[in-house]
Amino acid sequence: MQQGVILFFVLNDTKKTKRVLQVLRERRIEQYTVLNTFGSYGLYHHGYVNYAPSVAGGMNSSKELDERRYNKTFLIPVPSEEESLAIMQQLAEITNIQEGTGNGILFTVPMVKTD
């Protein structure tokens, strides 16, 4: 049985973190985790790999990637799929996340209780 979902939100524009936290407060979401993360281009930028990832390079200009040192990744447990969709829509509006913008990504993973 599904017991809710985990909303994953990777925010590339970390300057908008306060706006995201405000939305969570307004929706009375008190339990969530925020991580400083970086993607495959971050591995290249920090010298962990010696090749530039083609996906990251194709989505953004190298100048934008050089300026972005890390992302904020939010893990937000939400009790229902319906509520997660409403939260996702609100977060997408305030952070300008749209398909193809490279500003971030929103997705959910179902939580299931096992015996």
Q: Each residue's pLDDT tens digit in the chain (115 positions)?
A: 668 999 999 998 889 999 999 999 999 999 999 999 876 666 666 666 665 555 544 445 444 544 556 889 999 999 999 999 999 999 999 988 876 666 788 999 999 888 7
Dig out the tokens for 10 from the structure.
């990777």
In this predicted structure, what is the pLDDT of residue 63? 47
Domains of the chain: 2-38+70-112 (3.30.70.120)
In this predicted structure, what is the pLDDT of residue 113? 80
In this predicted structure, what is the pLDDT of residue 47? 65
In this predicted structure, what is the pLDDT of residue 77? 96
In this predicted structure, what is the pLDDT of residue 48? 61
Angle value at C-alpha 33, between 32 and 37, nearest 5 degrees: 145
In this predicted structure, what is the pLDDT of residue 68? 56
Contact yes or no for 72/34 (Cβ under 8 A): yes
Contacts of 70 by beta carbon, 8 Å cutoff, 6+ apart: 14, 36, 37, 38, 42
Query: In the chain, which residue ranges form alpha helices assigned H by DSSP?
Result: 17-26, 40-45, 54-59, 62-67, 81-95
